[in-house]
Amino acid sequence: MAGRELTSTRSPRVKAARRLAKRAFRGRERRFLAEGPQAVREALALSGVLSELFATAEAENRHQDLVAQAEKSGIPISRVSAEVMAELAQTVTPQGLLAVCQFVDVPLESALAPAPRLVTVLAHVRDPGNAGTVLRTADAAGSDSVIFTDASVDPYNGKCVRASAGSLFHLPVVVGSRFGTVIPALKDAGLTVVAADGAGKCSLDAALDSGTLSGPTAWVFGNEAWGLPEEILSAVDEVVHVPIYGGAESLNLATAAAVCLYTSARAQRSG
């Protein structure tokens, strides 16, 4: 890595990157921050996504392969002091690597064009950690795309990016679509739209046994505290609840999403 180490938090490059912690700046510049070696590795795998890399000397030595790959790709690299990295990072203990990346989201019609079998929709999901975990789970379960409605958290929020563990870079992500346009688009793409809600009359077991989940399915997950509004529940094809066999009051959003998505994945593969 060439060039001297940046030690001032007032450096124009540092300030330009730091402001991407705010959603307004991210939206204006269509760039976001991805922290840690896993995120950097996944971003490097996509051509043209990673536009700048910041690294401490320690991280540069520890992750020589990633730094070398970035250099080979012609990506600007800045060595920074631990103090500067602490200013840039959004974690208590920074890992020493931070990338500035271009937005990776795609239009709704593009995500639904290849006749998807499994789609994940986040409606009114506000917690970035939960949203990122659902994105990671959707990727693991084989979801063809993940849709963040306009009432949900920004998937480029730093906590959401970290919770996705690189999955943000793996599958098509749609951002900001109005739910009123999402439902008809899903149905037009041949998907059965199923909402996960504790008040659903149909259990997940019953949906599985009846064959409802064996075909192309879009799962809709709602707010962590109050679930899905009535206008959404009345617009979907089926409302399903995850059965509770023990004494727990409920499952959190990420866990419920994992159960539902993997149940669909199993049903589709068995079929």
pLDDT band for position 17 (cuts 50, 70, 90): very high
Closest CA to 33 of 5, 63, 54, 59: 54
**Choice among 4-8, 90-94, 159-163 with the minimum mean pLDDT:** 4-8
d(CA 154, CA 125): 10
pLDDT, one tens digit per residue, over 113-157 is 999 999 999 999 999 999 999 999 999 999 999 999 999 999 999
Whether residue 1 has pLDDT greater than 80: no
Name the CATH topology of 12-102. Answer: 60s Ribosomal Protein L30; Chain: A; (3.30.1330)
pLDDT at 271: 62
Domain 108-270, CATH number (from 3.30.450.20, 3.40.50.2020, 3.40.1280.10, 1.10.10.410) = 3.40.1280.10
**Same fold flag, 12-102 and 108-270:** no
CA distance 89 to 180: 36
How would residue 35 be classed by pLDDT, with cut points 50, 70 and 90?
very high
> pLDDT (tens digit, 9 = 90+) per residue, 199-217?
899 999 999 999 999 999 9
Domain ranges, ordered by start, for the chain: 12-102, 108-270
- Can you tell me the distance from the alpha carbon of 244 to that of 237, in angstroms, rounded to the nearest whole number? 23
pLDDT at 56 over 70: yes
**How far is it, in rounded angstroms, from Cα 77 to Cα 88?**
14
State residue 6's pLDDT score. Answer: 85
Using 50, 70 and 90 to split pLDDT, how confident is the model at 3?
low
CA–CA–CA angle 69, 48, 23 (5° rounding): 110
Residue (of 236, 153, 139, 253) closest to 191 by Cα position? 236
Nearest to 66, CA basis, from 101, 91, 34, 42: 42
Please provide the average confidence, as pLDDT, over all residues in the chain.
94
**For a pLDDT cut of 90, what percent of the chain falls above it?**
90
239 membership: H or E segment, kind and range: strand 238-241
Task: Give the per-residue pLDDT at 130.
Answer: 95
